[in-house]
């Protein structure tokens, strides 16, 4: 049975799998599970890869899932996507490649039309992002960005820079854009050039860091033209060293600010856009 595959799944993993997808217990071993595993092994090459897909998406045991995998796998390969990136898509978002073959093919063609390179990881991310959206939902998200003054060209340019900016919910898009535009007085066009900013957590990363910046500006310890983009994108360890540990003796509140315990009122000046 599948559970005896090498390297195999630990008992705890098996329990979690079956708890999340109990329908597997009612699936025919000979007619469905074994043929499915054999085909997955043929497509993915190794038992380790098969197990990764099963753990990520137990729905591969449904009747037509492997058939869809075959069709969509072939679509990607026919458009010049290297096998290594096809596998990356499998493991990033297995659901993306067990969707209707026609719709998947349309998404891949649209990504190619937009100029993505099939040899680049961004191509895979763009396919993932598109598969997460119906046409209606995609348009709603475009409209959400447009409501902040971005042109359609700027929105698609942002998508090409960071495809996952269209994987965000419409609610998060409005929340993030609203914060950067209204609280930080950032030019929307600048945000479209650095769309990775939108992928960070507002509550856990951006607001606490802005609070630290605000406090240090009030104390005159850093320049008022410090770049918020630079501070948001900085690795956590580096941020701690440069803006928290460095000043915590002189300004103890900087620790509380970084912990999100000091309310962010807004920067004194518009941030640099470099």
User: Does 267 reside within a domain?
Assistant: no
Q: For 200-233, write each residue's pLDDT tens digit.
A: 999 999 999 999 998 998 888 987 656 888 889 9
User: Does 266 reside within a domain?
Assistant: no
Per-residue confidence at 19, pLDDT binned at 50, 70, 90?
low
- Kindly state the percentage of the chain with pLDDT values over 70: 78
Q: For 54-97, write each residue's pLDDT tens digit.
A: 666 555 666 576 777 788 888 999 999 998 888 888 777 767 77
| Domain around 105 | 67-132
Q: If you average pLDDT over residues 99-115, what whole number do you get?
A: 90
User: Does 268 reside within a domain?
Assistant: no
Which of 132, 157, 174 is a domain's end point? 132
User: Does 272 reside within a domain?
Assistant: no
Q: Going by C-beta distance under 8 Å and a sequence separation of 6 or more, which residues neighbour residue 274? A: 227, 229, 230
User: Does 264 reside within a domain?
Assistant: no
- Judge if 119 and 146 occupy the same domain: no
Write down the pLDDT at residue 206.
95
Write down the pLDDT at residue 102.
86
- Judge if 179 and 233 occupy the same domain: no
Quick one: 192 exposed, middle or buried, by C-beta within 10 A (0-12, 13-18, 19+)?
buried
**Do 185 and 179 form a contact (C-beta atoms < 8 A)?**
no
Long-range CB contacts (within 8 A, 24+) of 139-147:
140/170, 141/166, 141/168, 141/170, 141/173, 144/170, 144/173, 144/174, 144/177, 145/173, 145/177, 145/192, 147/174
What is the rounded CA–CA span in Å between residue 140 and residue 146? 10
Mean pLDDT, the chain, whole residue set: 83
Checking if the pLDDT of 43 tops 50, the result is: yes
- Judge if 120 and 155 occupy the same domain: no
Number of domains in the chain: 4
Which of 132, 148, 175 is a domain's end point? 132
Which of 132, 164, 184 is a domain's end point? 132
- Judge if 113 and 168 occupy the same domain: no
User: Does 247 reside within a domain?
Assistant: yes
Per-residue confidence at 3, pLDDT binned at 50, 70, 90?
very low
User: Does 103 reside within a domain?
Assistant: yes
Q: If you average pLDDT over residues 173-197, what whole number do you get?
A: 94
Rg of the chain (C-alpha set): 23
- Judge if 4 and 55 occupy the same domain: yes
Q: If you average pLDDT over residues 15-31, what whole number do you get?
A: 58
- Judge if 230 and 254 occupy the same domain: yes
């Amino acid at each position: 049975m599948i559970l005896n595959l090498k390297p195999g799944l630990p008992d705890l993993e098996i329990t979690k799998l079956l708890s999340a997808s109990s329908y597997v217990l009612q699936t025919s071993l000979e007619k469905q599970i074994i043929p499915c595993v054999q085909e997955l092994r043929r497509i993915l090459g190794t038992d380790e890869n098969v197990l990764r897909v099963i753990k990520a998406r137990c729905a591969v045991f449904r009747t037509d899932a492997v058939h869809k995998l075959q069709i969509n796998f072939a679509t990607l390969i026919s458009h010049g996507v290297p096998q290594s990136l096809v596998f990356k898509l499998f493991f990033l978002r297995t659901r993306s490649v067990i969707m209707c073959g026609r719709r998947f093919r349309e998404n891949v063609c649209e990504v190619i039309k937009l100029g993505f390179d099939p040899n680049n990881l961004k191509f895979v991310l763009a396919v993932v992002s598109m598969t997460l959206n119906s046409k209606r939902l995609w348009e709603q998200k475009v409209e959400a960005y447009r409501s902040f003054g971005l042109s359609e060209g700027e929105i698609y340019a942002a998508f090409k820079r960071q495809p996952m900016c269209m994987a965000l919910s419409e609610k998060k898009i409005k929340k993030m854009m609203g914060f950067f535009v209204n609280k930080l007085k950032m030019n929307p066009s600048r945000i479209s050039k650095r769309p990775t900013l939108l992928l960070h957590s507002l509550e856990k990363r951006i607001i606490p860091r802005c609070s630290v910046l605000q406090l240090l500006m009030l104390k005159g310890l850093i320049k008022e033209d410090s770049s918020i983009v630079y501070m948001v994108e900085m690795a956590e360890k580096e941020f701690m060293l440069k803006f928290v540990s460095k000043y915590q003796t002189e300004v103890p509140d900087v620790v509380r600010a970084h912990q999100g315990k000091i309310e962010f009122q807004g920067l004194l000046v518009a941030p640099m856009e470099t």
